[in-house]
Amino acid sequence: MNNEEQNNQSKAHAKITLGLVLSWGLGVLVAISGITLLFSQLLTGILMLLLAAVLLPPVNKFVADKLHFSISGGLKFVVVIILLGVIGATMSTDSTSNSNTSTVPNTEQVGNTEAEDNSVPREYKSALNKAAFYANTMHMSKRGVYDQLVSEYGEKFSAEAAQYAIDNVKADWNANALAKAKFYQNTMNMSPAAIHDQLTSEYGEKFTKAEADYAIQHLND
The mean pLDDT of the chain is 78
**pLDDT the model gives residue 22:** 66
* Among 218, 136, 132, 121, CA closest to 178: 218
Higher pLDDT, 187 or 83: 187
Higher pLDDT, 113 or 192: 192
Confidence of residue 74 (pLDDT cuts 50, 70, 90): low
Instruction: Judge whether residue 183 has pLDDT over 70.
Output: yes
**Which of 46-50, 57-61, 184-188, 192-196 is predicted least confidently?**
57-61
C-alpha 59/C-alpha 15 separation (Å) is 20
C-alpha 142/C-alpha 56 separation (Å) is 28
C-alpha 153/C-alpha 169 separation (Å) is 22
Q: Give the mean model confidence (pLDDT) for residues 7-16.
A: 51
Q: What is the pLDDT of residues 113-136, one digit of tens each?
A: 444 567 899 999 999 999 999 999
Domain segments of the chain as ranges: 7-98
C-alpha 121/C-alpha 113 separation (Å) is 14
Q: Give the mean model confidence (pLDDT) for residues 181-205.
A: 94
Confidence of residue 82 (pLDDT cuts 50, 70, 90): confident
Instruction: Judge whether residue 205 has pLDDT over 70.
Output: yes
**pLDDT the model gives residue 113:** 45
Percentage of the chain exceeding pLDDT 90: 44
**Which of 39-43, 50-54, 131-135, 151-155 is predicted least confidently?**
39-43
**Residue 205: helix, strand or coil by DSSP?**
coil
Instruction: Judge whether residue 25 has pLDDT over 90.
Output: no
* Among 221, 131, 147, 138, CA closest to 185: 221
Q: What is the pLDDT of residues 88-103, one digit of tens each?
A: 776 666 555 554 544 4
Q: What is the dihedral of CA 27, 31, 34, 35, to 10 degrees?
A: 180
Confidence of residue 107 (pLDDT cuts 50, 70, 90): very low
